[in-house]
Chain A
Amino acid sequence: MNSGSIKQLKKPLAIRLGEQTVLAKSLVMAEHPFDRRDFLKVLGWGGAAVALSGCGNGSVEDGKETVVSYVETNDYMIPSISVYFNSTCTQCDAGCSITGRIREGRVLKLEGNPDSTINRGKTCGLGQAGVQHHYNPDRVREPLLRTGDSGEAITWEKAYALIAEKMKDVSGEEIAFLSGGVSGHLKVLLGNYLDSFRSKNHFVYEAIAPAVMRAANKKSYGVEMPRFNISKAKVVLSFGADFLGAWVSPVHFSQQYAQFRKGDEDGQRGVLVQIESKMTLTGANADRWLVVRPGTEGILALGIINALGAAGLRLSGDVAGAVKGYDKARVSKDTGVSAEQIDKIVALLKARTPSLVLAGSAAEGYAHGSQNAAAINLLNQVLGNVGKTVEAAEVVPFPQMAPTTGNTAALKKLNDGLAAGKYKVLFSYAANPVFTAPGAMKFKDNLAKAGFKVVFAHYLDETALQADLVLPLDSALEDWGTQVPEYLATCAQINIQQPLMEKLHANTDGKGTRGMGDILLTLLKQRRAEEYKGFADYYAYLRGALLKNKVALGGHKVDDDTFWNETLSKGIIKLEGHVSALSSRSGTAGLSLPSPAAIDAQYPLQLIPSVNASLRDGRHTNQPWLQESPDPLTTIVWDSWVEIHPRKAAELGIEEGDIVEVTGKNGSVKVQAYLFPGIHPDAISIPLGRGHEALGRYAKGYGVNPFQILDAVFDKETGELALHETRVKVSKTGSRVIVVKDEGPVGGRQMGKKIAARLPSDKVKLSEEI
């Protein structure tokens, strides 16, 4: 038989067999319940059969596939060989230096730059996901002008003309420029642009910034951001500072923490005590984790000072006076931390010096947040840590480039101005207040009162959707820039940001994305043409500005081109910074802490909006790697949850997976419940970052946004938003889901195997512990 006739025969036979089988299959399945395991086996064999039939050279595409070569190329560009360029990570404000791996002109991977004293060659998960910011399919690719409810794509020329026209007759008072934290030359250009209108309305807003701590540090130490030497400390007492997760400069602190645990200098392993109301990643790593009643961190700090005094530490008169009333019995009653635990902490602090006390965002998020932070800083001073583990950081000797850090007081000011209809033109850059402002502020409604809203955006986020004009930005891996990090590790440095590859959405037909620096430069040329005519683009401006200061930047021995190329190659300019000594005034003046508030009968629970190490305030929620990387403590992915203490849950009849309604004075959200022992029974916690109504396919519609139900309560001293001051109630809705998480059905019980032994705190014999 030749092969042709086999083929002819085979086909009808197979079809017949196929039909019979389908029939037989359905009969069998109807008669007997079909075992899942059998079904999988059959599927497996079926897959194998498909794979076999697919053998041969079916995937070879000679004559079909096109191979495109370079038109012109540099000698170092060799197909399949990677090249590496240094730049700066912009996923958060820590200012880690990165090295991008580029192959065939495309950036594939980001790693840390070993030369940086901040991250020393390491990155975090957030930084790793930076490529997904760049390749995100939902990026805005052309300037969009609002016509009714939709956006019309326009050219940049038209967009600039439109801005010039709108800005023609406005006074400086009628302009508002909202931005995230800015530093470096971008800050200079931004400042000059506003200056050209004599406008002072630059609102620098960060939804979750340690702004209260900065203010408290300024009062206690004389600087906003001193250097915290975790590695030098023998004991770290952290009041809710999640320095391994999302606090200030986590990659740097993680390395310091490793040295602290190893005891690099004398082999003595450092002891970490974490005091907070909701366990953070840092809390989970602590030797001792103490749950404290939300908002009473300051009381506990003063109680510890009092107990230290009682244990023989010499206190100055004003300190002794300030802590007089905070005896152990009262403090224990107010905070829920037992007297025995306070004694233990005091013994630890006395036995091991130097120590380090940190005031984190959990302690700051209250109406008396400044007082909490001041009390905690006082503990540092009493212990003599100032100058040892709390040191003055070096300062970059170019004050005009120093970071302008964001806070939430700026948002309030802007919101008040918007509500009063003060602004004719509003710009927004690197901020998404429609998503992150507390619902009680009614920011979205107030924003509508601004005359003309220009939003510089990578994606159509909630704020960009409200804009009249959306200007598309280059990604961080396509743009030029300089950056001065707020937290400087061991030396002063200026970080260089440079393109790692060509623009993905290049400038065709006068549309496409552009760099923020280029946009500001063009806008400045509308105002001060003479002054800026020498700079063709932002690159030329940056190069010119850095070369002008070549000597001060350490390039006195080399010519301009060498200096510039070396700078780009290193990605960092390290400088001799100047250090000013910390002041050691003890900040007892005006220190007064309120007693814990009585439990509200209608809204009995305290809502803690928690900060996840990778999602933060939600600006990166559209990076699927971050959505799918499990939360370190609950292992939940792609969704929000509410953490409830098991005892409280039992009281309310809530089980894991119940959809509960969390209701506050300013709205409610429906979210799945997760029973979590690491939280105060009178508090619940919902992570921030999810619950977007926009921001693209990977963010929209996943989870809930706790920002929307926050009350607008402010810290009395700094005017910062008190994130933890919202009280809520929880009720069951009746529906249930299966919580999608990594840890498996038995929860955090380590599959029944005692991998890391745990002991409830009441069973611990404190006298036997370190």
Chain B
Amino acid sequence: MHRFLRLSVLLMGLFAAVGSYAADAPQSEPMTEDDLGPAIEQPIEFPHVRHAKDMQINCMYCHTYARRSAVAGIPPLQKCIGCHNWIDSVKDKPRIKTLFEYWEAKKAIPWKKVHDLPDFVRFNHERHIKRFYFQLNRPVQEVCGYCHGDVKEMTVARRQKLLSMGWCVACHQKDHPVTAEGGTPIGNQAYWYGMRKPLIDVSGIIKAKGPNDCSVCHK
């Protein structure tokens, strides 16, 4: 009994000490659905609106790694130059001048991260693009927009979605069609996503949920 008391006193002390430490730390405000990420100052104010909306360039033309790899990466500088070398009309614009300064110095542009996840989360770009762009034939801006928002309306990208675990799971719990309209699932394809039996809704479309296993994201 005495031993038990001793332990609980110690525990109380530790919790209190840790609590006071936690109270000192700046608490992040709770996030809501319509929360925007911080406005971020970038070395070059990259106009997504011009490229994605006015010029109708496919997102994946520049963000070419997204469909090939877990991480989307940042387009290499040579990608920018590849086009802009031939666009004389904007070469005297300050942003393009800065761009060429980096290129001539062969220095990488120190972009700031806009979408970051905690280190214990492994989001896989490739799988999401395979599923929604290549399999369901959804428009690319819609597919990227699920997580990145309406980037084509932005200049410098800003986080528009919550990117919290609850927000991810909310989508994984929805029933998504297994194939594009009129397509036939190949083999056990439907099971691959949900790890559970797909369901067939009233209109006859085979649907499945996203994976719900902890280890899918928390490796």
Contact = CB atoms under 8 A, between A and B. Distances in A.
Contacts of A11: 20, 23-24
B20 A80 contact: no
Given A63-B114, A66-B113, A71-B106, A78 B16 contact: no
Nearest to A31: B6
B164 A14 contact: no
A94 to B, nearest CB: 36
A61 interface: yes
Contacts of A78: 65, 68-69, 73
A21 B115 CA distance: 43
B93 interface: no
B13 A24 contact: yes
B116 A71 contact: no
A589 interface: no
A21 B113 contact: no
B12 interface: yes
A13 B12 CA distance: 13
Could you say which of A22, A24, A63 has the most chain B C-beta atoms within 10 Å of its C-beta?
Answer: A63
Contact of A63 (B12, B13, B70, B113): B113
Contacts of B14: 21, 42, 45-46, 49
Q: How large is the interface on B (under 10, 10 to 19, 20 to 34, 35 or more residues)?
A: 35 or more
A73 interface: yes
Contact of A81 (B18, B68, B78): B68
Contacts of B159: 62
Contact of B17 (A18, A41, A81): A18
A53 interface: yes
Contact of B108 (A20, A59, A69): A69
A512 B12 CA distance: 56
A67 B157 CA distance: 14
Interface in B1-33: 2-3, 6-7, 9-25, 28, 31
Interface string B38-65: 1010000000000000000000000001
A62 B19 contact: no
Contact of B73 (A25, A45, A79): A79
A17 B18 CA distance: 11
A468 B130 CA distance: 61
Nearest to A20: B13
Contact of A58 (B7, B28, B117): B28
Nearest to A6: B23
Contacts of B183: none
A48 to B, nearest CB: 9
A66 to B, nearest CB: 5
Interface string A24-65: 110010001001001001100110011001001111111111
Interface in B182-212: none
Given A21-B16, A46-B18, A65-B112, A71 B23 contact: no
A738 interface: no
Given A18-B17, A62-B38, A71 B108 contact: yes
B216 interface: no
B116 A62 contact: yes
Contacts of A17: 12-13, 16-17, 20
Given A38-B7, A50-B18, A73-B76, A66 B112 contact: yes
A337 B103 CA distance: 76
A1 interface: no
A494 to B, nearest CB: 35
Interface of A: 7, 10-11, 13-15, 17-18, 20-22, 24-25, 28, 32, 35, 38, 41-42, 45-46, 49-50, 53, 56-73, 78-81
Given A18-B20, A45-B11, 9 more contacts: A13-B16, A17-B17, A21-B16, A24-B13, A57-B164, A65-B112, A66-B110, A68-B108, A73-B76
